Chain A
Amino acid sequence: MLIPRKYQSIAVAAILLIVSLTMLSYGTARLSETGFVRKIVLEAAAPIQDAINIPLQSLYNGWNRYLFLVGLEDENRRLGRLNAALTAQLNLYREEHLEAERLRKLLALKGNFPQRAVAARVIDRARAPLFKTLLIDKGTVDGLQAGRPVLSDQGVVGRIIEASWHASRVLLLTDEQSNIDGMIQRSRAQGILQGAGAAGCSLKYIPRTEEVLEGDAVLTSGLTGIFPKGLLLGVVTVVSGGNGGLFQKIEVAPAVDFDRLEEVLVLTPDVKPKP
C-alpha cells in the first residue's frame, strides 16, 4: 500500500470530498445537463417509482373519492340553497328589466301629449263580470280626477271614474257603461265605441253606407275633448249589416290586453310648460 495505514482514513476522506466537490462544481456549471451516470440512475429508478406509484395513486384516488363522497351531500345541499337564491335573484332582475321596459314605453308615450301625464301602477282588478274596472295607485294628490283618460303603450285603457287622494278607479273601455268617441282610421267614419263586456267593444252609429273591413283600426276621434285624437282603441273583428237598420253592427277587439296591464299613464288637465 502506497499510503501508510495511519493516513488511509484521511486519504479516503480527501478523495471522497474531492469527488463530491467535482460533482457539485459540475452540477453548478451545467445545471441543465443530465450526465450519463445520472441518466442510468433515472432509468433504473423510473420502473420502481412507477411500480410504487400505481398502487399509491389508486389508494390516493380511493381516499379522495371517499372524502369526495363524504362531502357530496353537504355540497349538494349548499348548491341547492345557492341555486334557489340565485334563481330568486335572477327572477327579480328579470322582473325589474321587464318593468323598466314597460316604463320606458310609457315614458316615450308621455312625450306625445301636451298635458302632463302621470304614470301609475295597477294595484287591483275588479273580478266581477259586469264591472270592468282597475284600481291604480295615484289619486287627486297627483293631479288625477274623474273623467281623465287612462292609456297604456298599447292604446286606450279607459277613464277614471272615481279618485281618492292616493288611488283611483279606472273604467275600462270594455265595460258596458263605457262610451268613447271613435273613428275608423282608414275611412274616417265616426261613431261611439261602447263596451260589450267579455265580447270586447262594439262601434255604434256607423252608417251602412260606410265601408268597414275586418282588421280596420279604430282610433279616438277627439271630439268630446276627453281623449286626445288618434289613440288606438282596437281593431274591427266582425262587421255585419245590422238586421236592416240604419247602422252597421261592428265588433271591435280592444288594443290593450287588460289582464296583463301593470302600469298605465293618466293624462291630467294641467298643460305642460313649453320648453
Chain B
Amino acid sequence: MIFYIFMPVLLLITVIVQTTILDLFTFGLFSMEISLVIAIYAGFHLDTLRGGLLSLALGFFLDCLAGAIFGLYAFLYLLIFFLAHIVADRVYREKPALVASFTALCALLKGLAIVVFYHSFFGADILSALPKIYLPQAVVLGALSPLLFKLFHRFGVFLHAEDTQPAQRI
C-alpha cells in the first residue's frame, strides 16, 4: 500500500529535480532523463500493474512539467516499460552491460519516436536532434544506468519493507 501512497509524490519530486537541477549538469545540451531509467527499472523488476502505473505517472508528470504535447511521454514511457518487461523475462537482468546497452537503446528509440511523431503530426524536421541530443543522452544514461539501478534497488527494498507481511505462526 505504501507504494501507491508515496509513489506519486516521489515521482513528482523526481521529475521536478530532473527538470530543475539535473539538467544544469548537462549545460542544456540534453536532458538527464533519470525518469526513463526508472521506467526501465520498473520494467525489469515490477509487475505489470505497479510498473505500468509508475511509468504512466512518470510520463504524465513529465508531460505536465516539461512536455510540449500532453500524453506523449506518458505513452512512450508506457511502451518502454512494456518493452523492458518483455525483455526482462528472457535475459539475465542484473548484468550491468545489458542494463547499460538496453537503457541506451531505449533512450535512442524514445528519441526516434519523438522525432517521427513531430514529423508526422506537425511536419517538423528535427532529425538533427537525434545525433545532437538523443545520442549523447543515450550514451550518458546508458553509462549511468547500472549505478542508478543499484540505487533504485536499495530504495525499492526500503519501499517494500512495510508491505511484506511477517510469517504467521502455526
How many Å lie between the Cα of A48 and that of B12 in the bound state?
10
Contact indicator B48/A9 (Cβ below 8 Å):
yes
How many Å lie between the Cα of A23 and that of B70 in the bound state?
7
Interface flag for A35 (CB, 8 Å): yes
How many Å lie between the Cα of A25 and that of B69 in the bound state?
10
Interface flag for A19 (CB, 8 Å): yes
Contact indicator B75/A24 (Cβ below 8 Å):
yes
Which residues of chain B come closer than 8 Å to A52, judged between CB atoms? Answer: 16-17, 20-21
- Give the contacts of A1-46 with B (CB-CB under 8 A): 8-9, 12-13, 16-17, 19-28, 31, 35, 38, 41-42, 44-45
How many Å lie between the Cα of A27 and that of B76 in the bound state?
14
**Contact A26-B70, Cβ < 8 Å, known A42-B65, A52-B21:** yes
Which residues of chain A come closer than 8 Å to B115, judged between CB atoms? Answer: none
Q: Of A9, A19, A22, which is in contact with the most chain B CB atoms at under 10 Å from its CB?
A: A19
Interface flag for B143 (CB, 8 Å): no
Which residues of chain B come closer than 8 Å to A45, judged between CB atoms? Answer: 12, 15-16, 61, 64-65
Min CB–CB distance B122 → chain A (angstroms): 9
Contact indicator A16/B70 (Cβ below 8 Å):
no
Contact indicator A13/B60 (Cβ below 8 Å):
no
Contact indicator B71/A53 (Cβ below 8 Å):
no
Interface flag for B56 (CB, 8 Å): yes
Interface flag for A112 (CB, 8 Å): no
Contact indicator B71/A24 (Cβ below 8 Å):
yes
Which residues of chain A come closer than 8 Å to B100, judged between CB atoms? Answer: none
Which residues of chain B come closer than 8 Å to A13, judged between CB atoms? Answer: 48, 52, 82
**Contact A56-B13, Cβ < 8 Å, known A21-B75, A25-B71:** no
Min CB–CB distance B130 → chain A (angstroms): 21
- Give the contacts of A38-72 with B (CB-CB under 8 A): 38, 41-42, 44-45, 48-49, 52-53, 56, 60
Contact indicator A53/B20 (Cβ below 8 Å):
yes
Which residues of chain A come closer than 8 Å to B10, judged between CB atoms? Answer: none
Q: Contact partner of A16 among B16, B20, B52, B121, CB < 8 A?
A: B52
Contact indicator B12/A41 (Cβ below 8 Å):
yes
Interface flag for B105 (CB, 8 Å): no
Interface flag for B114 (CB, 8 Å): no
Q: Contact partner of B48 among A12, A31, A44, CB < 8 A?
A: A12
Bitwise, A185-216 to B at CB < 8 A (1) or not (0) is: 00000000000000000000000000000000
Which residues of chain B come closer than 8 Å to A26, judged between CB atoms? Answer: 70-71
Min CB–CB distance A175 → chain B (angstroms): 78
Contact indicator A20/B69 (Cβ below 8 Å):
no
How many Å lie between the Cα of A146 and that of B152 in the bound state?
105
Which residues of chain A come closer than 8 Å to B21, judged between CB atoms? Answer: 52, 56
Contact indicator A20/B12 (Cβ below 8 Å):
no
- Give the contacts of B50-105 with A (CB-CB under 8 A): 52-53, 56, 59-61, 63-65, 69-72, 74-75, 78, 82
Please, which residue of chain B has its CB at the minimum distance from the CB of A22?
B71
Contact indicator B52/A27 (Cβ below 8 Å):
no
Contact indicator A27/B70 (Cβ below 8 Å):
yes
Min CB–CB distance A128 → chain B (angstroms): 74
A residues adjacent to B (C-beta < 8 A): 8-9, 12-13, 16-17, 19-28, 31, 35, 38, 41-42, 44-45, 48-49, 52-53, 56, 60
22 pairs across A/B with beta carbons < 8 Å? A8-B48, A9-B47, A16-B53, A16-B56, A20-B59, A20-B78, A21-B71, A22-B71, A23-B60, A24-B70, A24-B74, A24-B75, A27-B70, A27-B72, A31-B70, A35-B70, A41-B64, A41-B65, A45-B16, A52-B17, A52-B21, A53-B20
B residues adjacent to A (C-beta < 8 A): 12-13, 15-17, 19-21, 24, 47-49, 52-53, 56, 59-61, 63-65, 69-72, 74-75, 78, 82, 121
